[in-house]
Amino acid sequence: MAQKENEIRIKRKAQIKEVALKLFAFKGYHSTSISTIAREANISKGLMYNYFESKEDLLADLVMGAFEETEDMLEELLKPQLSPQEKIEAIVWGFVGHVKESFDYWKLLMSLGFQSGILDEFKTEIATKATQFFGKMSSIFEEMGAENPMIEAMLFASHLDGLFMHYLQAGAQYPIDEVTKGFVKKYS
Contact 93, 180 (CB under 8 A): yes
Instruction: Give every CB contact of residue 52 below 8 A, 6+ residues apart in sequence.
Output: 16, 58, 61
Domain layout of the chain by residue ranges:
1-52, 56-185
Q: What is the pTM of this model?
A: 0.81
Q: The domain 56-185: what is its CATH number?
A: 1.10.357.10
Which of 8-22, 110-124, 137-151 is predicted with the least confidence, judged by mean pLDDT?
110-124
- The CATH number of domain 1-52 is 1.10.10.60: yes
Q: What pLDDT was estimated at residue 89?
A: 95
CB 52 within 8 A of CB 139: no
Question: Which DSSP string corresponds to 60-78?
Answer: HHHHHHHHHHHHHHHHHH-
pLDDT in tens, 161-181: 999 999 999 999 999 999 999
Query: What is the sign of the dihedral through the CA atoms of 31, 32, 34 and 40?
Result: positive
pLDDT digits (tens, 9 = 90+) for 45-59: 999 999 999 998 998
